Amino acid sequence: MSLEKIGNEIQSIGNVTVISGLIIDFKEETQIKLVIAGNWTQALGGLTALADEFEDTSDKDESLNIIGNLLQSIGNSLQAIGGVDELKSIRNEDQSNKEGNVNDVEKDTDTQVNNETNENEEGKLIDIIGSWVQAVGSVISLIGQIREESEELEGNDE
pLDDT digits (tens, 9 = 90+) for 36-53: 999 999 999 999 998 888
The CA distance from 79 to 62, in Å, is 26
Find the angle CA(87)-CA(93)-CA(97) to the nearest 5 degrees: 145
Is the pLDDT confidence value at 80 over 60? yes
pLDDT: which is higher, 90 or 130: 130
The CA distance from 53 to 137, in Å, is 14
The CA distance from 55 to 137, in Å, is 20
- The pLDDT, as a whole number, for residue 99 is 75
The CA distance from 86 to 81, in Å, is 9
What pTM does this model have? 0.81
Contact between residue 53 and residue 65 where contact means Cβ atoms under 8 Å apart: yes
- The pLDDT, as a whole number, for residue 40 is 98
Domain spans of the chain, in order of start:
3-157
> Which is nearest to 112 in space by CA: 99, 126, 125?
99
User: Average pLDDT of 16-22?
Assistant: 96
Is the pLDDT confidence value at 96 over 90? no
Per DSSP, the three-state class of 61 is coil
pLDDT: which is higher, 76 or 4: 76
- The pLDDT, as a whole number, for residue 97 is 80
pLDDT digits (tens, 9 = 90+) for 101-151: 655 545 555 555 566 567 778 889 999 999 999 999 999 999 988 988 888
- The pLDDT, as a whole number, for residue 7 is 94
User: Average pLDDT of 57-75?
Assistant: 85
